[in-house]
Amino acid sequence: MAPDPPFALLVSERGTRRLAAVNAAARAQGLSAGQKAADALALVPQLATADHDPDADRRALEALCDWCVRFSPAVAVDGDDGLLLDVTGTDHLWGGEAAMLADLLDRLARWGVPARAAIADTAGAAWALARHGKDRAVVPPGEQSQALSGLPVAALRLDEAAEAQLPRLGLHRVGQLYVLPRAQMAKRFGLAFTQRLDQALGAAGEALAFRRPASPWFERLAFFEPLSAPEDLARVAADVLALICKRLEAEGRGAKRFEVVFHRLDGKAFPVAAGLARPGRDAKRLARLVAPKLDVVDPGFGIDVVTVHAFAVEALAQGQVRLDAELDAAEALAPLVDRLVNRLGEGRVWRPDPVESHVPERAVARAAPLSPPSDARPWDPDRPRPMRLFKQPVLIEVMAKLPDDPPVRFTWRGRHHRLRAAEGPERIGQEWWRGDFEATGPGRIRDYYRVEDEAGGRFWIYRQGLYGDGDAPKWWLHGLFG
C-alpha cells in the first residue's frame, strides 16, 4: 500500500491561512500545525489541503465518545481532541488494563483513527502520558508521580503564561516541580497551577463532565461472533435485559427507562429505548416492549456488543403476588399503558388533568397516565362546556336583533342555523398576567353563549370584544355540545 500523500487542514486566522492539522506524511516533510499555508506549500508543493471544520470534528469526537461506551459507561469529551474514560471496575472484562487499552487502540487503528492512550489513577496523569509519554502506558496504582517526573511541564495542562514562564526559569521537567515550595509556586503562577499539579498526582479531585450521567445500572454482553439475524438481536436484547433486571432485583430496585444499545462492528451504535409507567424489573415484559422496535437496528456487518442502561432507578419492594383477583387498579393498567406509550410515543397517551383557568383552551393539561392527580380543583360540572372544543375558533356570520343579544341565526360552513334558544352569556376574560394589554385587555373579553338550533344541535359561540370600542366585535364558534 502506498503511503498517504501529505495532507493538511487549513484555517483562516486574521486573514492568514494557517495549517490547523497535518498528517504523518506531512509531518515527516517538516510541516507542523500553526505554520503559514503559503510557507507550507513552498516547502511541499504537492501538499493536499482542505478547510478545517471544527463542528464536524466535534461531531466525530462525540460519535467516538458514544462508541467508547462499550468500554465503560462513563466517557467524557476532553477538549477538542481527547476522550477520558473512567474504566474503574470494567477492565476485568478484557483481562486487565493493558489488554483493554490494546483492544481500544487496535480497533481505532483498524478504522484509520490515529490515537494514543494511557491508563493512570488520575485523569491528569492519563492526559499527560497519552500526549507526552510513552504510548499505551499503564501506570500501576499510586505511581503517577514517578511516571510523570520525566515529562515536559506542558503535560500538566497549564495556562499559556505559566507554560511559557517555566522553561525560562530552567524548569523543563515535571519532576523538577515536586521539590519546589508550593506557596511560592502558587504565588508566582496562580492557584490553578498547583491545582493542576495536584490533580495529576492525585492529591486533588477533578470533576469530569461525562457525556451521559455515570450510573451503576449498566450491563454489557460481548459476542465472539458478530450477530446479524433479527431473531438473534431480539434474543440478546432479552438476555442483556435479564442481566440488569437480576441486579435490580438483588438490590430491591426497579427502573422506569431502559436503553439497549447495539454496537456495530464499524463503531455505529443503535439505541433502542423502552419506558415503563411504573418502575419495574420484569425482563420478559421489557423484552416484549423492545422487540417491535428492533427494526431500526441495521446490523450491517454484525453486532458485536450490546449494552443496556437503566435510568430513573427507584426502590421497589418485592411484590407479593396476591391471591385474590382484586388487583390494584394502576398495577393492572401499567402493562397496557407501557405497551401504548412504547408503541405510539409519549405524547399520544395521556391523562387529562384539571388546570385552574377559566380560559377553556387552558383548562386541561396533559399528565402522564397513571401519575397521581394534581392538586388543582376539578372541573365544575355546572359550568356548560362543549364535548368537542375546536383548537382554532371558527369565525361565523351572525344576525342578532340587538347588539347585546344572542344571535338569532348564524352561518357556519355554508349552512344556516336558525337558533331557537340561547343561554348565557358567560363572560370569560383573558388572564391579564399572561401578556401585554393588547393580548389580554377588554378587546379580548369573550361572552360565551350556549345556543340550540332548530334541529337540536347545540353550539358554543362567543362574541369577542365590546361594542363602541374601536372595531365591531366578531362572533366565533368555539365548540359543539353533544
* 250-279 positions binding other proteins, by CB under 8 A: none
Which string of DSSP letters, residue by residue, matches 79-133?
TTTEEEEE-TTTGGGTTSHHHHHHHHHHHHHHTT-----EE-SSHHHHHHHHHHS
Q: Does 248 bind other proteins (CB under 8 A)?
A: no
Nearer to other proteins, 189 or 476 (CB): 476
- For the bound state, the minimum distance from the C-beta of residue 448 to other proteins, rounded and expressed in Å, comes to 13
Q: Is 138 exposed, middle or buried (0-12, 13-18, 19+ CB in 10 A)?
A: buried
* 321-340 positions binding other proteins, by CB under 8 A: 327, 329, 332-333, 335-337, 339-340
CA dihedral 313, 316, 319, 325 (to 10 degrees): -80
Grid cell in block for residue 156 = 500538566
Contact characters 413-442, other proteins, x per CB under 8 A: --x----xxxx-------------------
- How far from 478 is each of 109, 355, 361, 392, CA to CA, in Å? 65, 19, 10, 7
Nearer to other proteins, 424 or 465 (CB): 424
Candidate segments 70-78, 81-89, 202-210, 344-352, binder of other proteins by CB under 8 A: 344-352
Euclidean distance between CA atoms 276 and 113, whole angstroms:
39
Grid cell in block for residue 109 = 487503528
Q: Are 366 and 352 in contact (CB under 8 A)?
A: yes
Nearer to other proteins, 287 or 337 (CB): 337
Q: Does 14 bind other proteins (CB under 8 A)?
A: no
* Interface pick for other proteins out of 14, 92, 168, 348 (rule CB under 8 A): 348
Contact characters 351-380, other proteins, x per CB under 8 A: xx-------x--xx----x---x----xxx
Q: Does 349 bind other proteins (CB under 8 A)?
A: yes
Nearer to other proteins, 27 or 351 (CB): 351
Q: Are 67 and 267 in contact (CB under 8 A)?
A: yes
Euclidean distance between CA atoms 302 and 352, whole angstroms:
45
Strand partners, 13: 16
* Interface pick for other proteins out of 24, 161, 387, 439 (rule CB under 8 A): 387
List of residues contacting other proteins (CB under 8 A) = 327, 329, 332-333, 335-337, 339-340, 344, 348-352, 360, 363-364, 369, 373, 378-381, 383-391, 415, 420-423, 450, 452, 454-458, 479-482
